[in-house]
Amino acid sequence: MRRSERRDTGYAFPVSRALLGGRTLLRTWLAAGALALGYGLVGSGCTPVTPVTPVTEPVVTGGEIDGPEKAEQAWRAERIAEYEPIWNEETGPDGDPFAAGLAAYGLASATLDPAWANQAIDAFDKVLDSDPGSALARAWRGSAHALMARDYPVKGLWQIVPGPGFVRLYHVKAAFSDLDSAVGAAPDDPVIRLIRGSTWLAMPPIFGSREEGLADFGTLRAWTRDPDSNPDHADLLRSRSWREEYHLARARAMEEIAEHEDALRSWRRLSEVTDNPTLQELAKWHRISLGASR
């Protein structure tokens, strides 16, 4: 994808390949005893802040993908191989901060490294400094804040200590602010709606974002079924790349909130619209894990 296309559509690094790839906010935060006493959840001890790690490509052992874990590893490895060279290009002297932010966002997801989420936030800050009205950059920055909250390296009861313990709360608040502002500025933009809906459904239910996330996906379903109902974005909504992204995002989101029939339908639809072999394997193994024969 050309640099101009990355900026114009914001579609080079779709949100379901990032926020909902690998671990999700809910699983990660519960496993870490997230927000501990502050929100009535159970702490898991007082392990200090853990160091961030550099980009490391996940290793897929063996030749054939024979289960969901290997399928996820292969998908993450493919994303890293795609994002790293773009990051290197777009952080050069002639680079585009918007494209750099998208690359850092994708790497934050694939590596679960909060240092990349921070790079994404910094890059989108630069975009918004020069173009405060960019709803797309604001949406991506909001979702990057959610990634930062997901992966910030502090565990257990350290999360309620003033200072490092409230970093996650700051990023959650920033995510809500940016994403709601972005949708308010561009309510008919499918990419912005998909970013917010996916982010909200990945949040723990205690934040009260589930109903709004489901409403966003309801709007997106209507637009995807009838692109002419959103004439300003009808061409995008008819494209295979959009349908691939939408069904991937919906499948992951619905599986996360235990709407398994909806998730299974979306994984099946994804298999029908994508020509990416790695993504087809991912969809196949998720269907199997949800009880389908293949």
d(CA 41, CA 51): 24
User: Tokens 């050069």, residue?
Assistant: 92
Within-domain flag for 279: yes
Give the CA distances from residue 188 to residues 19, 112, 211, 223, 234, in Å, rounded to whole numbers and listed in that order: 21, 31, 19, 9, 11
Q: And the tokens for 17?
A: 């390949």
Q: Each residue of 89-119: b (16+ CB within 10 Å) or e? A: ebbeeebbbbbbbbbbbbbbbbbbbbbbbbb
Is residue 13 over pLDDT 90?
Answer: no
Mean pLDDT over the full length of the chain: 79
Q: Please state the pTM of the whole predicted model.
A: 0.80
Angle at 180 between CA 258 and CA 9, to 5 degrees: 90
Within-domain flag for 26: yes
Within-domain flag for 105: yes
Within-domain flag for 185: yes
Is residue 269 over pLDDT 90?
Answer: yes
Within-domain flag for 209: yes
3-state secondary structure of 238: helix
pLDDT tens, residue by residue, 123-152: 999 999 999 999 999 999 999 999 988 887
Stretch 264-272: mean pLDDT: 96
Within-domain flag for 294: no
User: Domains in the chain: how many in total?
Assistant: 1
CATH of the domain at 239: 1.25.40.10
pLDDT tens, residue by residue, 21-46: 333 333 333 222 222 222 222 222 22
Is residue 157 over pLDDT 70?
Answer: no
Stretch 12-16: mean pLDDT: 45
Q: What is the pLDDT of residue 165?
A: 55
* Least reliable range by pLDDT among 83-92, 153-162, 236-245: 153-162
Within-domain flag for 118: yes
Q: Range of 22's domain?
A: 3-289
Is residue 199 over pLDDT 80?
Answer: yes
pLDDT band at 164 (very low <50, low <70, confident <90, very high): low
